[in-house]
Chain A
């Protein structure tokens, strides 16, 4: 049997032991004697009785203290101030939220009208820009072709074939440009494109290879009609294409 140590006995004396300790003390004489010795010693340590203090003692303590205690009254006005500031902050937040909400609503309401107007103008400008870019490019290429045609050697067939291929490519582009020009309402440009279209058509649609006689005839027509001059004048009216918006017509594709 394992005996109880002094710590267990002290716990038991102060009522903080388990039932097992009590059972052990009942069964073990040695531990019971040790416990009795402990009780005897602790019994000698008398509970010190404090000197009596009458009913006025508390009053005396309070009287001696009251003058040195600060009042918590200073805290009172702080609460309204705190709440006032909190109220102001909340009100400001509400005003900001309401303002943001109203501004958002206004913006949303005004947005469709502005958008339609803006988009309309924007679309129109974009469309014109595309037409001008395509047209400028087309006129450039046409001018180069006409210059080549003007100076072409009718007897040298090596230079004829590339001109014919270029004419076929330009013919489709010219047709699309002509369609676009109808929306711009520019009669001079429309006539010039029609005239250019006829020349390109003759160049492109000549059966077989271009003959020397055909080239000579077209050169004479160009000189007579002043087609090259007309294309150059038109080209000068068309602003240079901008790199960002440039659309290179490849054949008939715009």
Chain B
């Protein structure tokens, strides 16, 4: 009978030997990081929780193909990114080919003004948050994911490429496009809110 050990490799060996409960240790150990990235990509808690569960489920099913040379945390993280990307991409109205110049984000200035019920500071903060959210919505699913991984998760270009299943140069270009779009959108929003 295989016994569950302390590290991920021992747990994986135990799982493959039939000790299903050993997977619980891996789930507990990596749930937080998966939820964080899932939330950053999907933008809401419910989706992020779904992504976490789906990622662990997929990971369990593919555990036989897991290469012991790699790190389980990195491996399951990549699965979670793919799950989140799939979820964001499958949302109604999401189009991965959408360009930055197609404004389908909500009206910004009026929306911000409608929410201006609190103190001035809170208003400014909320205004910036709304602008950012609106700008982020101008990105395609893969651009948003690549940007989140680069800007928020701090992944390198190679790591982003690996997580998204694309070549490093494509990952770099995706991040570049995302930044360009965000800057363009933020500039427009700024001009609109001040105008």
Residue of B nearest to A77 (CB): B18
Q: Is B183's beta carbon under 8 Å from chain A?
A: yes
Are A69 and B23 touching (Cβ within 8 A)? yes
Q: Which of A71-96 contact B (CB under 8 A)?
A: 71-76
Contact B48 A50 (CB under 8 A): yes
Chain A: minimal CB distance from B38 (Å) = 8
Please give the number of chain B residues whose Cβ is less than 8 angstroms from any Cβ of chain A in the complex: 50
Q: Binary interface profile of B, 8-48, with partner A (CB < 8 Å = 1, else 0)?
A: 00000001111011011001111110011001100101001
Are A58 and B31 interface neighbours, CB within 8 A? yes
- C-alpha spacing A46/B186, complex, angstroms: 13
**Inter-chain contacts of A65 with B (CB < 8 A):** 27, 53, 56-57, 60
Known contacts A38-B183, A58-B28: A76-B35 contact under CB 8 Å: no
Q: A10-B176, A66-B24, A76-B18 are in contact. Are A58 and B29 (CB under 8 A)?
A: yes
Chain A residues within 8 Å of B148, by CB: 48
Is residue B4 within 8 Å, beta carbon to beta carbon, of the partner chain? no
Given that A14-B150, A48-B152 are known contacts, is A68 also in contact with B57, CB under 8 Å in the complex? yes
Closest CB of chain B to A78's CB: distance in Å?
11
Q: A10-B176, A58-B29, A61-B56 are in contact. Are A42 and B16 (CB under 8 A)?
A: no
A6 within 8 A of B: yes
> How long is the Cα–Cα vector from A14 to B172 in the complex, in angstroms?
11
| Cα distance, A11 to B157, chains bound together (Å) | 10
Binding site for A on B (CB under 8 A): 15-18, 20-21, 23-24, 27-32, 35-36, 39-40, 43, 45, 48-49, 52-53, 56-57, 60, 63-64, 128-129, 131-132, 135-136, 148, 150-152, 156-157, 172, 175-176, 179-180, 182-183, 186-187
A selection of 18 A-B contacts at a CB cut-off of 8 Å is A10-B179, A14-B151, A38-B179, A38-B183, A42-B179, A44-B186, A45-B182, A46-B132, A48-B152, A50-B35, A53-B35, A61-B49, A61-B56, A62-B27, A65-B56, A65-B60, A75-B16, A76-B17
